Amino acid sequence: MTYFIFCIHNHQPAGNFPEVIEAAYESSYGPFLKAISKHPSIKLTIHTSGFLLDWIVENRPEYIELLKSMVERGQAEVMGGGYYEPILQVIPQADRLNQITMMSDKLEEVFGFRPRGIWLAERVWEPELPTTLKKAGMEYILVDDYHFIKSGLTREELGGYYVTEDQGNVIKVFPGSEALRYLIPFKPVDALEAHLRGLKGFLKRGDAAIYGDDGEKFGVWPGTAKWVFDEGWLEGFFAWMEKNLHWLKPVKMGEYIESAGPVGRVYLPATSYMEMGEWSLPATASREYGELVEEARTWERGEEVRRFFQGGTWRNFFSKYPEANWMHKRMLLASQSLRERAEGRQWDEGLADAERHLFKSQCNDAYWHGVFGGLYLPHLRTEVYRNLIEAEKLASIEQAHSEGPSITVIDMDADGFDEVIIRNRELNLFVSPDNGGSLVELDFKPRAVNLSNTLSRWFEGYHHKLEKKGKTEGDEGAEGTRSIHDVVLVKEEGLERYLKYDTARRVSLVDRFLSSDVTLDSIYCNKYNDLGDFSNNRYNADVRGASLVLSREGEVRGGRVSIAKEIIPGAHNSFKVNYRMKNLSSRAGACRFAVEMNFILPCCDGPACLYQMTPPVADIGLGSRGEVSGVEKVGLIDTYTGVGLSIASGPPATLWRFPVHTVSLSEGGFEKIYQGACLTFLYPISLDTGGEEFEVSFDLLAEEIT
């Protein structure tokens, strides 16, 4: 007898659009559960992440009733996990335990059963995880067979679960089959049958075929709805299985544990599924690694060699993308602040709500990028920051700053250099002296929005695939449908035009000196020469009461220039930036001083988002590009969410503006995504005589728009 373990994971990230969730339900979650419920002999282990579960409970109660009936009659088993699908190992231990417990409590409330096992988000495993799982009352977990192969085991030895431990805390670990992941549901049932029948003589340890993968493969992924439902793959699969129950027995994961012992002991390395190892590497290495993996498939001993390949680990995303690292460390700061605030205070409804917001901010999707992963999606990053800011507000962490501005110096992003946090009643300013004295984060607390949430235009190892564009969903061929890992789709033509790359993170108060031949287009393309060395170098930071003075002496065209910029917070929702430059030699000559700022509103470049300028301009959408002279004031307005940001310049400036677009790859194909508005304020200056001084000031105001 061969046992078949069928494990499905359904997930939507916190903050995803309701219409996207509804479409996924209608095309996948609902039809799939309805279909399998009609085949009671086919057993299912299912995990639904907390945010999606909450949506289903509220919007599709019939799904809950159906799944509950399947659980009660023994057809289905529900799995737990971190409630909002965090990468458990990169959130604080207390948050890990509380997220898992919150999910277990919810499942018991809804289905009447507490889970024995968890779904591990993105199958990101690290060796100390068993201790956390044991403390949370968990018995088993599922990862990929890839994890076991990295430990030196062969696929022939992966026909059952293993035990592993950390500090004596034992957990049962199931190896999900990579072969089954690529067969189900993409290949015809007879191909799947051939594989499953072959396991009897193939497996040397255990007797189970273990499948664990995303439920979105059954209707959400491109081309799968037609193949799985309209063309009958799923019903054909179930019918075939029912005819073969004499040798293939469907079982739930917990049920299999009851009937079979472990096939061995294993210690898994820090890893995830194989594709994640490729995605987490730096761009050039990612491309080279992917090409090498494909090349190995053609070698005579390719599969034997491939099993020893190891890409990057999930944490690499924090070095690959500074925005991901910043967001993660910002989350850790909020978690630490919440725990500190809770000490010595009775746990109340406000703290409980704050904790839930914190947990939502830990949802993994916005922290990474591959074919999946939502770092490139502004609305997911916006949701992370919204929840962080709301958590701080609800926990009264900001109460101490309601009377007036305050300043904290801390190495928030764990890079070895201190940041400066300036808070007043309605704003948080996070300043990095080491990174050009720049403004990295600007929070408008009344609307819980980070106005600096711009993603830079990073080079990605997959950008070369745009050369192969033109394939469509119709290229599936006669033998099934294609996995999204094999398809190149393009959502619009001409995306190559937007493949412009930044060499530094997009932040604000970035200081440059430009010659007269630098144009808006050269700034947009990042093809120009900065005459100075201020933009990415370290400024000295001097806290003076409630203000911060950032100063640096540097080089401009071989001469010496000093810059002092003072950030002065207002009492409520504003702050001022005063620049004072002094020529310390007589060699700099005439040039333009430029201050770059990057901001994004919640609705991005949608129809509700626009510029307001003095003097006015005709094309006011945030997706517009152009040059305007004599600008005294510019506003960025989001009429839908009611958020506005205004910047007044003294003296009037020439303003260059352009939208920051990235080109990224998702399961739907290559797409252009708006990441923010880049504003560069230009001032002509002459630095011909030593001792010359030049001053610039900005007044920034964030407000609620009605």
Pairing label, strands 559-569, 643-666: unpaired
φ, ψ of residue 544 to 5 degrees: the values are -125, 95
- Could you tell me which of 669, 296, 217, 224 has the C-alpha nearest to residue 468? 669
Using the structure block, give the residue that is written with the tokens 């949802």.
Answer: 363
Q: Catalytic: 122?
A: yes
> From CA 560, how far away is CA 583, in angstroms rounded?
6
> From CA 41, how far away is CA 61, in angstroms rounded?
24
Strands (DSSP E) contained in 215-360 are: 248-251
Rounded to 10 degrees, what is the CA torsion of 11, 16, 21, 23? Answer: -120
- Could you tell me which of 609, 611, 633 has the C-alpha nearest to residue 681? 633
Using the structure block, give the residue that is written with the tokens 């790359």.
Answer: 501
Whether 145 contacts 157, CB under 8 Å: no
Q: What is the DSSP string of 168-197?
A: TEEEEEEEE-HHHHHHTTTS-HHHHHHHHH
Token digits of residue 343: 């000490």
Of the listed 77, 85, 95, 122, which one is catalytic?
Answer: 122
> From CA 660, how far away is CA 198, in angstroms rounded?
52
Pairing label, strands 419-423, 140-144: unpaired
- Could you tell me which of 489, 21, 494, 37 has the C-alpha nearest to residue 223? 489
Q: Catalytic: 214?
A: yes
Q: How many CB atoms lie within 10 A of CB 558?
A: 10
Q: What is the DSSP string of 135-150?
A: HTT--EEEEEHHHHHT
**Cβ within 8 Å of residue 187, ≥6 positions away:** 479, 480
Of the listed 165, 214, 473, 671, which one is catalytic?
Answer: 214
Token digits of residue 377: 């999606």
Q: How many CB atoms lie within 10 A of CB 117?
A: 27
Q: How many CB atoms lie within 10 A of CB 474?
A: 7
Whether 514 contacts 682, CB under 8 Å: yes
Which positions are catalytic?
A: 122, 214
